[in-house]
Amino acid sequence: MSRTDVQGTVADGFEQVREVFGAVVAEQDGQVGSQLTAYAHGRQVVDLWAGDGVSGDTLTGVYSSTKGAATLVAAVLVQEGALGLDEPVARHWPEFAAAGKDTITLRDVLTHRSGVIGVDGGLSAAKLADDAVIARRLAAQRPYWRPGSAYGYGGFVSFAMVNEVIRRVTGQSLQQVYDERIRTPYGLDLYLGLPEAEEGRFRPIQWWTATPEQEAAFWSNVPGPHSILGIGYGLNSTPPLDQAAFVNDRAVRANGQASAGGVGSARGLAGLYAAAVWGIDGQPPLLRPDIVAEFAQLHSTGADLVRGDQGNYALGFQAKGLRYPFLSANAFGHDGSAGSEAFADPRSGIAFGYTRRRFGFGWSYPEHDRLAAAVHDAAALHRVTAHGMPV
């Protein structure tokens, strides 16, 4: 079998998705190793994979796509009344009130408006593997801007704060709630804490391919390690965080660090969003429509202090209706820095999941637009009801 051969299945009416995925794989010469899964109204309609070292069952690091799963935990607890979005974090975690953080709410944290995106001096890779260790450092940290006055992405630390609030309120970690309430009941191939028994399915993330000249030119234009961007991405530690090595570290995978330590497949990512809005495999939706609407509502738009124009957020999720204009205004999801992508569009009925094993040069992933559009167009042309019948 050639490494550019596309494996898997598509439902009737979604053949064009296979064609577009095949074209993407051919352009990458099979060197990336990728998976694509999509649901329409809770029914799986696309399940494809191709490339080096990848099958439909392969697991790999999904980086910040982890935040989608972590946000879903928060949404379930908000739905049940266990968490209040507009309560100060310090009400449950008194130590967090230090250094002017006493009024920061869970909503501020989830929408990246807290100003707490890292710590002075940075955090080593070993410390970033553990949410509890991160939380202890964040408790004493002064925000990098006045909370609520702007927003900026805290790529590796933001959900350690969410995790600590959940632990204080429920007595369980975010990862425990996720596994018991979401992953296990819905059979999701997406882990926040990869069991040792599943290690055989894990394939490590690979760094991008570039010439020494390309690397030098790229890094010469990156802001300094103690800039807002540098702090947000952990570059202010000594040594700077090696992103490729991060999820390839067994400790990160085992802990399921809630901001970026998730491990899964495209099936797991797409299934997560399908389960949230429509339910899958006979299970009901995880969220009521009013909770979906709350978490899908735009909260932080315009220039992100860390990510610039790339940052637009709903509540915990990225605002995918702004990322992909062909989606509806309330589409929501989250991508990851190695190229994973996942989202739900409640209006069109699409749940989308994509993984790849190799970083794109400069964190660029143009295939996202093509694949998302192909799934959207197929769903629009061949509408599928929850019972799987064309209408």
Assigned token pair, 381: 């042309």
Question: In a 3-state reduction of DSSP, which class is residue 46?
Answer: strand
Q: What is the structure's pLDDT at 52?
A: 84
Angle at 364 between CA 243 and CA 257, to 5 degrees: 30
Q: What is the pLDDT of residue 30?
A: 84
Query: Chain-centre distance of CA 273, in angstroms?
Result: 11
Residue 385 has pLDDT above 80, yes or no: no
pTM, rounded to two decimals: 0.95
Residues whose CB falls within 8 Å of the CB of residue 28, separated by 6 or more in sequence, listed in order? 34, 51
Mean pLDDT on 147-162: 96
Return the sign of the alpha-carbon dihedral for residues 221, 227, 228, 233.
Answer: positive
CB 385 within 8 A of CB 391: yes
Is 306 within 8 Å of 152 (Cβ atoms)? yes
In whole numbers, what is the pLDDT of the chain averaged over residues? 94
pLDDT at 391 over 70: no
Q: What is the pLDDT of residues 27-77, one digit of tens each?
A: 998 889 999 999 999 999 999 999 988 999 999 999 999 999 999 999 999
Give me the percent of the chain exceeding a pLDDT of 90.
87
pLDDT digits (tens, 9 = 90+) for 71-83: 999 999 999 999 9
- C-alpha angle 331-336-340 in degrees, rounded to nearest 5: 80
What percentage of the chain's residues is helix, strand, coil (to nearest 5)?
A: 40, 15, 45
Peptide linkage before 143 cis (omega within 30 of 0): no
Q: Band the pLDDT of 1: cuts 50, 70, 90.
A: low
Q: CA-to-CA distance for 85 and 130, rounded, in angstroms?
A: 24
The winner for highest mean pLDDT among 222-226, 263-267, 382-386 is 263-267
Cα–Cα distance measured from residue 11 to residue 267, given in angstroms and rounded to the nearest whole number: 15
- Cα 133 to Cα 54, 126, 129, 352: the distances in Å are 33, 9, 8, 33
- The tens digit of pLDDT for each residue in 342-368 reads 999 999 999 999 999 999 998 999 999
